[in-house]
Amino acid sequence: MPLLSVRNLNVEYRLPDLKIAVKALKGVSMDINKGEIVSIVGESGSGKSTLALAIMRMLKPPAVIKGGNVYYNGVDLLSLSEHEFNLKYKWVKVSMVPQASQNIFNPTMRVKDHFLDTARAHGISDEADVLKRASEVLEFTKLDPARVFNLYPHQLSGGMKQRVAIALSLLLNPELVIMDEPTAALDVVTQMEILKLVKMINEELGTTIIFITHDISIVPMVASRVVVLYNGEVMEIGPTEDVIIDPKHPYTKALVQSTPSLSSSPEEVRPIPGEPPNPLEDIQGCPFWPRCQYAMDVCKVEKPREYNINGRVVRCHLYGK
């Protein structure tokens, strides 16, 4: 049984002014196995953060879950009472490094107090215990607790803030950590260090990790499997190597081609044609067809179903026959 199993998840943002609902997730299904790092990759607006927040039950109005299940070890997290979820799952089993963690800290609180505050929110009040555990996780993220405990957020560099945010997510020793763009806003050198840290957490602590990013070029450095999201729908799921060497879905192909490398000829590198979809417009058929060079008539009317090709999930009509 997978550790986490998302089934047919639908999320809408209701915009009362416009009298419409924006569909942010449309029937997303994916499995996360214990001990792996899975990367969720997609452009902004593809639903990556909505998916993370839905799993954490942290979506706020106007977002509404319109159906689907999130099974954790067989228990549907969405059917639990809020009290039970907070007590038994949130941060205890599943925690999160939120997006833009540069800005998640309370500027008036020292690093130490962020750890105490998090523990208190989960009913743990023994300060000495919490600080001992906090020291452990900070050391693990290669920070010196004695030094950073008393610092305010503005005294930390971008890379250090990211490490503290990761340490906070590990405080209660969760089995699964969802990291939302943990390397955004970091330069390549710091990014490399954070990627190494993510791998180390996975290998040494055995933590399962969902790694969300818009940048497919960093995916092979951390993840063994990748889920490609586009406009709230899964386009492709598969082992990282297979997906990058031989992308099956035209969108994945375009994503790989838009990534420059230090040796590619400039002609090889191409932007994805067209513009990202407007979330207010409902696209008939496959959401990628307006930008797809392989688009056929069927793509414009009918949503492709899921095809299984050598252990890969691909939703594209090209594989229909």
Partner 1 sequence: MGSDEYLVELRDVCVYFTERVGLFGKRVTKALDHVNLGIRDNDVIAVVGESGAGKTTMGRVILGLQRPTSGLALFKGKDIYSLKGREFEEFRRSVQWVPQDPYSSLDPSLTVGEQLMAPIRRWNSKVNAEAKAEELLRLVGLVPPSFYMNKYPHQLSGGQRQRVAIARSLASNPRLIVADEPVTMIDSSLRIGFINTFIELMRRSSLSLVFITHDLALARVLLLKSGRGRVVILRNGRIVEEGDINEIISNPKDEYTKILINAAPDLKRWLKNREESV
Per CB under 8 A, residues contacting partner 1 are 43-44, 158, 184-192, 214-218, 220-221, 241, 244-245, 254-256, 258-266, 269-272, 275-276, 278
Instruction: Provide the residue count of the chain.
Output: 321
138 or 195: whose CB is closer to partner 1? 195
Query: Can you tell me which residue has the tokens 């990534």?
Result: 259
- Token reading at 182: 């943990």
Nearest approach in angstroms of CB 157 to partner 1 is 8
Query: Cα(222)–Cα(89) distance, rounded to whole angstroms?
Result: 25
1 or 189: whose CB is closer to partner 1? 189
Nearest approach in angstroms of CB 223 to partner 1 is 12
128 or 280: whose CB is closer to partner 1? 280
DSSP 8-state assignment for residue 245: H
73 or 258: whose CB is closer to partner 1? 258
Reference 150, options 118, 112, 114; nearest CA is 112
Nearest approach in angstroms of CB 192 to partner 1 is 4
DSSP 8-state assignment for residue 134: H
Nearest approach in angstroms of CB 294 to partner 1 is 18
Nearest approach in angstroms of CB 283 to partner 1 is 15
Query: Cα(141)–Cα(171) distance, rounded to whole angstroms?
Result: 12
Reference 228, options 4, 40, 23; nearest CA is 40
40 or 176: whose CB is closer to partner 1? 40
Give the CA dihedral 103, 107, 112, 118, nearest 10 degrees.
-60
270 or 305: whose CB is closer to partner 1? 270
Any idea what the Cα angle at residue 118 is, between residues 117 and 120, rounded to 5°?
A: 65
Nearest approach in angstroms of CB 12 to partner 1 is 20
Query: Can you tell me which residue has the tokens 């070890």?
Result: 73
Query: Cα(132)–Cα(136) distance, rounded to whole angstroms?
Result: 6
